[in-house]
Amino acid sequence: MSARAIVVRELGPPARHRIEPVDVPAPGSGEARVAIVAAGMNFPDLLMLEGRYQYRPELPFIPGMEAAGTVIGTGPDAGRFRPGDRVIVRMRNGAFAEQVNLREEQLLPLPVGMSFAEGATFSVAAITAIHALADRGRLQRGETLLVLGGAGGVGLAAVEFGARLGAQVIAACAGPEKAAIARARGAHHVVDHPREDLRERVLELTGGRGADVIYDPVGGAGFDASMRCIGWGGRLLVIGFATGTIPRLKANLALLKGCSVIGVRAGESARRDPELGRRNLRRAFEIAAEGGLRPNISHRVPFHEFPEAYRILAERRAIGRVALLMGEDDRP
């Protein structure tokens, strides 16, 4: 059987890549075949196309880390899911396709009341925020959390989860529309960065103390400013480099601030410590069942218009998440 997929045959911008028919064999032992309805767009997907991400799959490859759809078939020894089940798909790459075969452990039941597009954009952002703030940052009630990219997908999840942990949350994002979304998700203060000076505003909002924990999925100049407004003994969480610029750490600032710079890789941490991954997954779904951590999807883009979805992401036009639609989403 064949299905269509975005196939990357050479590294470069989205315009170089095409939707092509690919063979989808019968599901193997312990596998299920899923008809993808929606896939989530992430910055790592964009970086992976250009060979700028830390994980570099061999060419050719199909991008896409997360999706949601319906099980349409199962292989031998597959018993957890049946045809008709609505599921969330988790992969390192391969989700930007109309159909995929996956091991059953790569599938999660789509929570009741969650649309396919919401399911496709839920797990990466939610689990990144939980792992970063709870496991790596050890964020405590009453501490101040600064979230860079505070209206992006992983940023909004961090704003909301940080507020749930009892932190005073400062979201850095550009423009009134993004500020309103960040406030609605729990931000106590918003810095219109880069129009406002990030260092000055954070120090002003914290009475000169600086932020206890900084969540940085942006990199570039934001990282440099963060090192100048982090508090004594603070923790700067390196999530990613949405600007495309990997900053250099000025070690003298780490010394003067007595702070820690901590790398966060939620997916790799779960692969190395499966029990940690399962615990964070349970926590994410418990919060989702209460109505929390639901993604804000600002753009739903048809599959055949995928270069536009990438442009929205690259040009920072998204407020929250971008979903790529292979089928018709059932919005609640």
Q: What angle is formed at CA 199 by the lines to CA 193 and CA 203, rounded to 5 degrees?
A: 120
Question: pLDDT tens for residues 17-59?
Answer: 999 999 999 999 999 999 999 999 998 888 888 888 878 899 9
Q: Residues with Cβ < 8 Å from 248, sequence gap 6 or more? A: none
Q: Where in the chain is the domain with CATH 3.90.180.10?
A: 2-122+295-325
Q: What is the pLDDT of residue 256?
A: 94
Burial class (CB in 10 A: 0-12, 13-18, 19+), 92: middle
pTM for the complete prediction?
0.90
Q: Where in the chain is the domain with CATH 3.40.50.720?
A: 124-268
In angstroms, the CA 309 to CA 13 distance is 12
Class of domain 124-268: alpha beta
Question: pLDDT tens for residues 150-186?
Answer: 999 999 999 999 999 999 999 999 999 999 999 999 9
At how many degrees (to 10) do helices 153-164 and 123-130 cross? 50
Question: pLDDT tens for residues 74-84?
Answer: 999 888 999 99
Closest CA to 326 of 73, 152, 120: 120
Number of Cβ within a 10 Å radius of residue 100: 26
Question: What fold characterizes domain 2-122+295-325?
Answer: Quinone Oxidoreductase; Chain A, domain 1 (3.90.180)
